[in-house]
Structure 1
Amino acid sequence: MDANQWLIAAAGFLAGLGVAGGAAFWWFSRQMKAAAARVDKVEKARQFAGQQVTQARKQVEALQKELGELKHAAKAATLRPFKHSEPPQPEAPAAIDPFLPLAPAAPPTPVGADGFADTLVLKPKKS
């Protein structure tokens, strides 16, 4: 082999090495961009999850505070004696309209001392 052939072989080897290096650089840069996009997506998801956790903790704290207030109010209500109030009395009927063909309605059933209408227990008929 003379020097010309060695120079052509070396130039071909360097050109092939350059093409292979360029292809490897292109392939690895594509892989790195894809990995960076996945890392960015995971980081955004992590931040969003962190925001959701913070919001959930605030909601739990508010609910616990409200539950404590309700428990305190319920405890205070059970300790306080229940005051019976009289049931509302029906209003007096207005003056009878002379043009009204129907008789006025019967007065409402009387209300007992406990606030409920008096009831009667009927015995079953024997046949």
Structure 2
Amino acid sequence: MDNAQLMPLLGGALIGIGLGAGAVYFWLSSQLKQERQRLNHVEQARQQSGQQVTQARKQIEQLQRENHELRLAVRPAPRPAPAPVVEPAVDAAEAARLYAESKMQPPAPKPAPRAFKDTEVLKRDE
């Protein structure tokens, strides 16, 4: 091979390599651009979900405060302690007389025990 054949061959190879490198660079840059867009989209979604979580927490706190206020409003007021019942003073002599009279009276007769229980008719559930 002489130089006349070698130069166009080398020139063609260099141009082919340059065009191939340019095509690879263009393809990689478009892929990188798509990945950046996806990353930006994911970051925006993360920030939005973080804001929603913050808003939800604020709403929960507000609802808990309102719930507590309503419980306080609905809770019945404490009732005052009932006044102690004051029994009339009993004379000791009168109490002794009533006790003695109750002991002197015969006890009430007890009813005779029954041998068998009365028969009961039970309804059937059909």
TM class, shorter-length: 0.5 to 0.7
The CA RMSD measured in Å over matched residues stands at: 1.5
Cα displacement (A) at 1:73: 2.2
The ranges of structure 1 where at least 4 consecutive aligned residues each deviate by more than 6 angstroms after the TM superposition are: none
- The one-letter code of the counterpart of 2:78 is L
Greater percentage in helix: 2
- The one-letter code of the counterpart of 1:79 is P
With the length of structure 2 as denominator, give the TM-score of the two structures. 0.59
Gaps of 5+ in 2: 81-126
Distance (whole Å) between structure 1 residues aligned to residue 30 and residue 19 of structure 2: 17
Cα displacement (A) at 1:14: 0.4
Structure with higher RCO (Cα < 8 A, 6+ apart) = 1
- The one-letter code of the counterpart of 1:6 is L
Gaps of 5+ in 1: 82-127
Which residue does 1:12 correspond to in 2? 12
Is the counterpart of residue 62 in structure 1 residue 62 in structure 2?
Answer: yes
Which residue does 2:111 correspond to in 1? none
With the length of structure 1 as denominator, give the TM-score of the two structures. 0.58
Distance (whole Å) between structure 1 residues aligned to residue 42 and residue 68 of structure 2: 38
1:66-106 Cα distance to aligned partner (Å, 9 max, x none): 1111222223x25258xxxxxxxxxxxxxxxxxxxxxxxxx
Which residue does 1:79 correspond to in 2? 78
Task: Choose 1 or 2 for highest CA Rg.
Answer: 2
